[in-house]
Structure 1
Amino acid sequence: MLREHSLRRQKAGLSALCQFMRCAANGRYTAAEGESPLGIRYRKAISAALAAELGGAGRAAKDTMMWTGASERTAKNWISGTYGPAAEHLIELMRHSDTVLAVVLELAGRNEAMNSIRLGLVRNELSDILRSLNAICDRDED
């Protein structure tokens, strides 16, 4: 069950990243006066990642608050894309969310780091599956 949840979270991260990239390509996000293009991408990428992984604003805000210790208003601002989290909150989000981790690595141009993490997770998953299959086969032989 835990493994299924982890795989669903990884898929959510990829879909959030794809959604963000499509929106950015379509010019849907605009900058506030004086804001850098990376700042817009950051805000919207975190917003898409949190929404994809945690769902609706109410539940997403509660989980985000629990993970980071931020206020409800702050969490809702992150989810809506109005503001992005500061460093200490971002670290906590990355600690709890594979989706946020994937999006931040993508923004930093470090896709290979996420690929290594995913390969490790897949390897562990396959190892668990093989152990289960061996146990089933051993029981059948007895």
Structure 2
Amino acid sequence: MLHKKGSSFHRENVGRVSASEYRQAISTALSQELCGAGQAAKATMRWTGASERTTKNWISGSYGPSAEYLIELMRHSDTVLAVVLELAGRKEAMTTERLANVKRELAKVLENLDAICSIEGDQMTE
């Protein structure tokens, strides 16, 4: 809603994600992706450059990562990326990305099959 004085836009909080929902979603995503608190903390530290205490707080859900760290987590973790898109109400964006990944993987599989078939064909003609 625009106020009579000033030009800032204040959106209503309909559908807004709470801080606790955000913290829990990131915690769940990291735990699912990395299996185990010790391993998860170390991998998260490598991905983000954050301290061990900070990453353990994210994994436990005590705190959530700030924007800079969240971007790094999304860069390395498809699970975190999917959770953030879902929280933003943009789940369909992840579906598009997954389809693109499946197409790339399928292309690799087909290349490997072609290579195997050509090797077997060469061996049969010898």
Range of TM-score over shorter length: 0.7 to 0.9
TM-score of the aligned structures, taking structure 1 as reference length: 0.71
Indicate the residue corresponding to 1:109 in structure 2. 89
- Distance in 1 between residues matched to 2:21 and 2:59, nearest whole Å: 14
In the alignment, structure 1 segments of 5+ residues that lack a partner are: 1-35
Task: Please point out which of 78, 83, 89 is paired with 2:63.
Answer: 83
Distance 2:55 2:64 in 1: 9
TM-score by length of 2: 0.80
Poorly superposed stretches of 4+, deviation over 6 Å: none
How many residues are treated as equivalent by the alignment?
107
Q: Which residue of 2 aligns with 1:64?
A: 44
Shift of 1:140: 2.2
Of 44, 53, 57, the match for 2:33? 53
Give the match for residue 141 of structure 1.
Answer: 121
Amino acid at match of 2:72: E
Report sequence identity in percent. 66
Q: Indicate the structure whose relative CO is greater, using CA pairs within 8 Å and at least 6 residues apart.
A: 1
Greater gyration radius: 2
More helix by share: 1
Supply the distance in 2 between the matched residues of 1:141 and 1:70 (Cα, whole angstroms): 53
- The Cα RMSD (Å) is 1.3
Hey, what does 1:122 align to over in structure 2? 102
What one-letter code is carried by the residue in structure 2 that aligns with 1:68?
T
The answer to whether residue 67 in structure 2 is matched with residue 94 in structure 1 is: no
Whole-angstrom CA distance in 2 between matches of 1:62 and 1:113:
29
Give the drift of 1:37. 5.3
